[in-house]
Amino acid sequence: MPASGILLIDKVKNITSHDVVSKIRKITGIKKIGHAGTLDPLATGLLLILIGRDFTKLQPKLLKFDKEYVATIILGIETNTYDITGRIVNYYYGKLPDLKAIKKVLADFRGDIWQVPPAFSAKKIKGKKAYELARRGETFSLKPIKVKIYDVEVFSYKKPRLKLNLCVSSGTYIRSFAHDIGEKLGCLACLENLRRTRIGPYLLENSVKLNKINESNWQSYLFH
């Protein structure tokens, strides 16, 4: 019987979560593989890879876990994707806020909030993914979703870069959070870097880089 379990992968930039799944299918020879929580190509960090039927069926439960991130936000610019990979659509030329003003605004975001997902997201609209419509230049609107910001703390602030530690509920878009922070501060903002450090009880420090696993050693990295 093929081995099954959960691989904790430290995803690198510029690959999709599906790319990771495809690579691990080739390494393991197992087709029944999924993941629990997408990371955008821009993002790095913890990705849970579920191997085998007994673990892929746990996906709905694992997707509900809260998550922690380290996010770097650039103040003063707005992009169409809400992150630095997108097209810049607006600049702010005024004075950037000080740390005291930032902390005051961040306090307003703690707890339950309503958040509109980015237009460039995988949210479905009449069976089509939002990012597909956005790329075609079509006009549409996404419904706000209720998420929870358990905690948000400033790690560092060196204008224009604001680095934050965040603990959030499942379904929270950090790109939208960055955009909304910029609007609330009145200076615009977009996400520059994102690193996921925890999913529920699973920690980034226990993960492995994809290029470190192969056909002979992958089973030794499994969690059950």
Question: How far apart, in whole angstroms, are the C-alpha atoms of residue 29 and residue 26?
Answer: 5
Q: Is 40 a catalytic residue?
A: yes
**Amino acid at residue number 214:** N
Calculate the dihedral angle through the C-alpha atoms of 64, 69, 73, 78, rounding to the nearest 10 degrees. Answer: -20
Q: Tell me which of 40, 83, 108, 151 is the catalytic residue.
A: 40
Question: How far apart, in whole angstroms, are the C-alpha atoms of residue 52 and residue 24?
Answer: 12
Nearest to 79 by CA among 194, 158, 163, 191: 191
Decide if 196 contacts 69 (C-beta within 8 A). yes
Q: Which residues are catalytic?
A: 40
